[in-house]
């Protein structure tokens, strides 16, 4: 036979803000130097050179054309979207 649950929570019970755990944020911050690869709004990889960042972005866009991929320039604080090939 199936075992019954040991702990029961009533339907009307809600956690208060003090008892609710804080959300965990897994997004790294933008780099202060070099270049970063941003995929669908999330920083995924960092590069020292623009050529390396562009090459990685184009390869990723070729493999997964549905993704929104940008190369972020940390020095100028500007992102450039990669167009499909």
Within a domain: 77? yes
Q: Is residue 75 part of a domain?
A: yes
Expressed as residue numbers, the domain containing 70 is: 35-81
What is the count of structural domains for the chain?
1
Q: Name which of 1-10, 13-22, 38-47, 56-65 the model is least confident about.
A: 13-22
CA distances 74 to 22, 33, 44, Å, are: 30, 5, 14
pLDDT of residue 29: 81
Determine contact, residues 33/74, Cβ cutoff 8 Å: yes
pTM above 0.75, yes or no: no
Q: Does 48 fall in a domain?
A: yes
Whether the pLDDT of residue 81 is over 70: the answer is yes
Gap between the Cα atoms of 72 and 1, Å rounded: 58
Residue 52 lies in a domain: yes
pLDDT in tens, 16-57: 555 566 555 555 688 889 999 999 999 999 999 999 999 999
């Amino acid at each position: 036979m199936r075992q019954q649950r040991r702990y029961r929570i009533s339907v009307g019970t809600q956690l208060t803000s003090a008892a609710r755990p804080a959300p965990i944020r897994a997004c790294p911050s933008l780099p202060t130097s070099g270049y970063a690869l941003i995929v669908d709004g999330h920083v995924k990889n960092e590069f020292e050179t623009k050529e390396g960042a562009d090459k990685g972005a184009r390869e990723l866009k070729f493999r997964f054309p549905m993704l929104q991929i940008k190369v972020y320039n940390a020095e100028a604080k500007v992102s450039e979207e990669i167009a499909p090939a």
